[in-house]
Structure 1
Amino acid sequence: MNKDSTQTALLWIVAAGFFMQALDTTIVNTALPSIAHSLGVRPLVMQWAIVAYTLTMATLTPASGWLADRFGTRRVYFTAILIFVLGSVCCASSHTLGQLVIARVLQGIGGSMLLPIGRLAVLRSVSGEQYVSALAMISVAGQVGPIVGPTLGGWFVEAISWHWIFLINVPIGVVGLFAVHRYLPRATSTAAPRFDLTGCALLSLCMIAFSLAVDAPSQSHRAAWSTGLFALGLVSALAYVPYARSRRNPLFKLSLFREPNFSVGLIGNLVCRIGSSAVPFLVPLLLQLQLGYAPLQSGLMMLPAALSGTLAKRWIAPLIRRFGYDTFLLVNTLIVGGSIVAFALITPSTPAIVAIVVLIVFGAANSMQFAAMNSVTLKGLSHEDAGGGNSLFSMVQMLAMGLGVSISGTLVKLFSDQWGSAIFGFRMSFVCVGGITLVAALIFRQIKETPPAIASPAKPAVAGGR
């Protein structure tokens, strides 16, 4: 094969891996009630099937670049797909929630390497002038996954069984394994610097402790356990500071936080994404458990949000050029938070068109929010700090996704048990997570004046602009 054909094959391989990873983050949501019924548990308990996946990816993503340098891009990417496929098979074979959670962790191990290693392979194989176009092609796969995921998940549940939301990854993965073996350039391992295992362990312990602390019922002994976990997470985070100062090459340099917009953007992303990540989890449950929608119907209801989000991406650049990051993020965050709160007004008597309009507004505003937050957080970093900042940013995003699901699920259970009404629990949960998102508007007001331009695509923020 000539060089152009090899590069084209490489892009399709990476895009397919990105599609699998992006699809898996959304296809599960509409199937949660059916999976819960099959496993004999309450639907809201299924939140850990999502949290386990996102939390595993968050903790392992920083190691992906080091693994590629140490063992070779081709070998690690092949292993990532293989682990992801094996995890998918284990998910489909699960008979208890515990088995499913463990299988999702296995999936997350593979998923944590799919996009970073794939993007690294493209960076090392594609010339600089073609890199932006290559990333644009890959990002399309990340956009298609969330669009078809909820609907495909609902269709599988009704037409075949929920097991196929995981088994769909098998044929895609098998083709990917063959393609990697056949087309991915053979790369040798390099003398990679020593990986900061202690730093990674401290930050991973922090994220895991915080996530476990959130998922605590109202009983006093569980509340004490939650407080202890929260304290453990805080101590782990604080312990990283003197550790990083004493190490020449820490996992993440503290100098990253000298860039003021990086600090503001990182905190704002964490707070804002808690609410944004709760919506894909809560809305399908609300539609199926409280409004009587079938799985396929609830999946189709999520389609307008995904489509409007894709269409709204073209508005981001002109709006930021016109108003600047600070004003745009202030106003748009209010729209995102307000639309989340608006879901609390949806009842069994609410016309479907009203729910669709709310989903369209949320999808469009949320898509622009992600792109603007990603850009303003990373655009001020130096070339030297861009890699570390991007990895830390990805960790925070995954942590926020897990926290959004954990917090919203816990709130529904708490309010439902307290007031004896599940619909009230859902409504109050939307109000609370929407309120958390609105707090992010105050954080984004601290953004320093920056030139009103989108960050260079040469420093990609995250997968598909998410």
Structure 2
Amino acid sequence: MKGGHGLLLATIAISMFLDGLDGTVVNVALPSIAESYGIGTGDTSWVITVYYLVMAGLILVFGRICDKGAIKKVLIAGMAFFTVGSLFCGISPSLPVLLASRAFQGVGAAMLAASAVMLGVKFLPKEKLGLGMTLVVMGTAIGVALGPSVGAALTEMISWHWIFFINVPIGAVAIVLAHKAIPADRGVEKGDLDVVGSVLLFVAIVLGLFVIERIPSAGINVTSGVALVGCILFFVAFTMYEKGRASPVFDMTLFRNRDFDKATMAYVLVNLTIMGMVYLFPFLLKKTFGLDTLGSGLILSLQAVSMIVCCVLVGKSTGRVPNRVFAVVSCSIMLLFMVLASTFSTDTPLTFLAMSLLICGCIWGIGGGPMGARMVDSLPDEQRGSGSSMVSFVMYFSSALGTALFAGLFGFGSGEGSASISDVSVETFMDGFGFCALVAIALALASVYFAWSLKGEGVRE
């Protein structure tokens, strides 16, 4: 391959950098967005959830297209969608317009995530797959590292709308680089993309996440009840439609592999738990610790710093240390972090919080790449393409699930439902945060179990 593997690895990292930057740039500005529109944690969570939701719903479709050979086209189109979507987000005058723009942006992000992971699976030698997956995490980590401080500075000095404008010049440059770096698509196969199955699955996911976010804080009512019934019906319809299809959008045969199931469960639990708790942190820093947006951004950047350091160390150990070891260590660190988070109070020193965030960054820095690689490694060669798409689906679906779930759990634990954060007392906020931390401890224990129960040696470890 022209340019060697270095240029390919750089392309993977840059693609995921855009996703990482967008995630934390938005996260740190959530309190400002909530105040701007006069909304609570439940409604604000959809600024994040709708983005990951669209990604989860479309990433398998784009993964299928990439698997058929159109990787370069998908990646460049994804960068274009992402850039234009960012512009739309920046000029959004209302929450509905912002959510629609985030959905459009999520379409591009789905293309980027599917193609970036597929680049590694298709073009990297097997012994460098772990490195490629680690660079997926590292690219995201660098974006995560810059996001809080850049987003906080823009929000504090100008307005939160500018956190989206920052993606526009980066996306434009990335399109040019990708065009030069990636070999032209050759031998693109034509085939059934299973549009009907994709729509059924997407609607089921949307309705399911709505129910998960609403029921803990608002209980069962007509709206959530109808959504719950609709979710079940669409999922049943999806399952029946997918049976016997030659090219299903969701390859359920992957889950006949017990080691793949365990690796997937560990991956899901880590991602949804971390995303759920990290979603609450900007509100914690502002409400409980009294930090402004800039101060919150600097504190949140600590998480990404340790993530990058761990990614570098893990990348050097790829191929020599089994991925299962990294998975167990990562899940164990998550358990420690959640125990620490459960002790946070109005009297907690800021230095203790900073130390906890450094520990939090080690979770994904150590386990993110190896756990994704372990999912793929547990599969035979003919299923590796589908496995890589499933890694991306699981990552973003669990991100949406974690954000929606913990927004609902916070409303339940605080007893305030979806009330505006500005109207909630510090004590009430900490009640909700503490309840979420206890749930997170239980989820972390489950992740340790699944990681530990993986086979000692994977197919390619």
State TM-score, norm by structure 2: 0.85
User: Are residues 435 and 136 of structure 1, via their aligned partners in 2, closer, same or farther at CA, if it must alter by over 3 Å?
Assistant: closer
The one of 19, 24, 27 aligned to 2:25: 27
The aligned counterpart of 1:287 is: 285
Matched-pair identity in %: 25
The aligned counterpart of 2:203 is: 205
The aligned counterpart of 1:463 is: none
Mapping for residues 188-337 of structure 1, pairs under 5 Å: 190-216=188-214, 222-223=220-221, 225-313=223-311, 314=313, 325=324, 329=327, 332-337=330-335
The aligned counterpart of 2:92 is: 94
Distance in structure 1 (CA, Å) of the matches to 2:68 and 2:127:
27
The one of 102, 105, 108 aligned to 2:103: 105
1:169 and 2:175 matched: no
Q: CA deviation at 1:363?
A: 1.9
1:436 and 2:427 matched: no
Structure 2 contact 24–148 (Cα < 8 Å) conserved: yes
Q: 2:397 is matched by which residue type in structure 1?
A: L
The one of 399, 407, 417 aligned to 2:415: 417
Distance in structure 1 (CA, Å) of the matches to 2:217 and 2:302:
40
User: RCO greater where, 1 or 2, for CA within 8 Å and sep 6 or more?
Assistant: 2
The one of 361, 369, 374 aligned to 1:363: 361
Q: 1:300 is matched by which residue type in structure 2?
A: L
User: SS of 2:3's equivalent?
Assistant: helix
Q: CA deviation at 1:352?
A: 1.3
Unaligned runs of 5+ in 2: 417-423
User: Are residues 272 and 173 of structure 1, via their aligned partners in 2, closer, same or farther at CA, if it must alter by over 3 Å?
Assistant: closer
Query: Which moves more between the two structures, 140-149 or 293-302?
Result: 140-149
Deviations 1:330-385 (A, max 9, x none): 56534313412422322232211111222222222343233443233322100101
The aligned counterpart of 1:159 is: 157
Deviations 1:298-324 (A, max 9, x none): 111122222222223426997997898
Q: CA deviation at 1:265?
A: 1.9
User: SS of 2:214's equivalent?
Assistant: coil
The one of 342, 345, 348 aligned to 2:343: 345
User: SS of 1:194's equivalent?
Assistant: coil
The one of 441, 447, 450 aligned to 2:456: 450
Distance in structure 1 (CA, Å) of the matches to 2:321 and 2:85:
46
Q: CA deviation at 1:246?
A: 1.9
Number of residue pairs the alignment of both structures matches: 451
Q: CA deviation at 1:401?
A: 0.7
The aligned counterpart of 1:460 is: none
User: Are residues 348 and 64 of structure 1, via their aligned partners in 2, closer, same or farther at CA, if it must alter by over 3 Å?
Assistant: same
Distance in structure 2 (CA, Å) of the matches to 1:135 and 1:157:
32
User: SS of 1:302's equivalent?
Assistant: helix
Structure 2 contact 310–366 (Cα < 8 Å) conserved: yes
Distance in structure 1 (CA, Å) of the matches to 2:133 and 2:370:
18
Q: CA deviation at 1:196?
A: 1.7
User: Are residues 427 and 242 of structure 1, via their aligned partners in 2, closer, same or farther at CA, if it must alter by over 3 Å?
Assistant: same
Distance in structure 2 (CA, Å) of the matches to 1:386 and 1:442:
25
The one of 418, 434, 440 aligned to 1:427: 434
State TM-score, norm by structure 1: 0.84
Deviations 1:66-116 (A, max 9, x none): 445789444433322221111101111112111111110000001111133
- Over the residues paired in the alignment, what is the CA RMSD in angstroms? 3.5
Structure 1 contact 69–189 (Cα < 8 Å) conserved: no
